Amino acid sequence: MSRLSYLAPFDWDSLLAFLSRRLFAGVEEVNDACYRRTAEIAGLRGWISVQNDATLSALRVEVSGSLVPVLPEVRARLRRLFDLEAIPEAIASHLGSLAEAHPGLRVPGAFDGFELAVRAILGQQISVKAATTLAARLTRQFGELIVTPFAALTRLSPRADVISRIPVKQLAAIGMPQTRAKSILALAQAVKMGTVSFDPSVSIDQTLATLKELPGIGDWTAHYIAMRALRWPDAFPQGDLGILKALQTKKPRHAAALAERWRPWRAYAAMHLWKSIVDTP
């Protein structure tokens, strides 16, 4: 058992709710206020289980014995996934009234950058629920089997090198347009070749530009990836329909102008805007 500390307040319930609507079924599950997933790091495979201990302001982490040799990397990835480096009081103070209702809201990150980027492409121009259905099909089709103590965890996340070799028609057969399948294939090939990296230390401007050179990846997808996989706190997908609705505008440029007051924490502003839509009766 390992612990990962954080600064309170920490809105664990909202974070889990966000992740639960965007799971890769077979790879991840949210159950009884617990997040679990499979993982493959440096050739080692296993499972991870995470629960919140609010009294200690820490997450309790359990990993399979197979992942103990890479525990430092597991911990680092979990800190990014659950945004444990955030300083919530400072962020909420800067956002003002926008953050009053949920000052502990975090920006969910990514345990695996490629996995998150694929999920972003799957989510283009369709509902969150529909994209999650596609993610489950992708996992069933291309994720390797793994045995765990948890019935819901049966697959590893499809790797970039595996997806890079899949024909477009075979990718599209899970139920998405061929144009979107081409985007996922191009992303996988770029990651395999090292053209695209999800290392947060890489220049954000450079990564955004590289991502947008790939077919089918525009500003929304690039900023969503930067927001979660690259941990850029000022990412802001200004054309997102939920954000436009929350800001009561139909113009992305107007949304961007309104969001200027929230720099350099616009990614957190986006989370609060999405939260305001989800929580609206």
CB 214 within 8 A of CB 88: no
Provide the β-strand partners of residue 25. 28
Q: Quick one: tokens of 39? A: 């993982």
d(CA 47, CA 216) in angstroms, rounded, equals: 33
**4: which DSSP letter?**
E
Q: Quick one: tokens of 101? A: 């209702």
d(CA 105, CA 150) in angstroms, rounded, equals: 28
Distances (CA, A) of 114 to 6, 33, 203: 26, 26, 17
Best CA proximity match to 26, nearest among 201, 143, 193, 175 = 143
CB 74 within 8 A of CB 61: yes
Of 32, 205, 240, 279, the active-site residue reads 240
Active site (annotated) includes residue 234 = no
Q: Quick one: tokens of 74? A: 């597991």
Q: Across the chain, which distance is largest between two alpha carbons, in Å?
A: 51
Q: Count of CB atoms within 10 A of residue 85's CB?
A: 13
d(CA 37, CA 23) in angstroms, rounded, equals: 10
The residues carrying an active-site annotation are 240
